[in-house]
Amino acid sequence: MEGNRSEVAVGALVLIAAVGFLVWLLQFAAPLGRGGYEVTASFRSAEGVAVGSEVRLAGIRIGQVAGMTLDPATFRARTAMRLDDGVVIPSDSSAVIASDGLMGGAYVEIVPGGAPDDLAPGGEILDTQGAVSLLDLLVKYASGSGEGGE
């Protein structure tokens, strides 16, 4: 009988820890579709970016990638981004796929433009720069076909 009590106590502690972790996780995770508005951008290469990846402005998280599809006419990655309420960006802003260093994940960086009008909900960021493949850069450097090569 004493063994059952200890098993029940350990089980209860594990359950309490799991519920606590779930509450903590939900506190910091911003689920898709909650508030904000959506804009789109089309990238030549969206390597490393996936649904849920961060969208940043000046290094601050302002949203996340809500969806990605392949445009069959242009063969570009059409990316839908959900930006937080209260974040407005100029209509001539650009979107760049960036990386958190060599081993970091990819994210979309918004570079604000200087237009007096703002990008409307559902609008498209036309000026984009796709992901840069680090493997391609290393191959170019190693083969000497990069900058300063012969």
Q: Using CA atoms, how far apart are residues 70 and 43, in angstroms rounded to an integer?
A: 10
Structural domain for 72, as ranges: 37-139
Amino acid 72 reads P
Q: Is residue 144 part of a domain?
A: no
| Number of domains within the chain | 2
Token output for 32: 């898709």
**Residue 127 within a domain:** yes
Q: Are residues 101 and 73 in the same domain?
A: yes
pLDDT digits (tens, 9 = 90+) for 78-88: 999 999 988 99
Asked whether residue 109 is assigned to any structural domain, the reply reads yes
Q: What is the mean pLDDT of residues 122-128?
A: 90
Q: Which of 1-15, 100-114, 136-150 has the highest mean pLDDT?
A: 100-114
Query: Same domain, yes or no, for 119 and 53?
Result: yes
pTM of the model: 0.67
Q: What is the pLDDT of residue 8?
A: 84
Q: Could you tell me the CA-to-CA distances from 90 to 59, 93, 113 in Å, in that order?
A: 17, 6, 6
Name residue, tokens 């940043």: 56
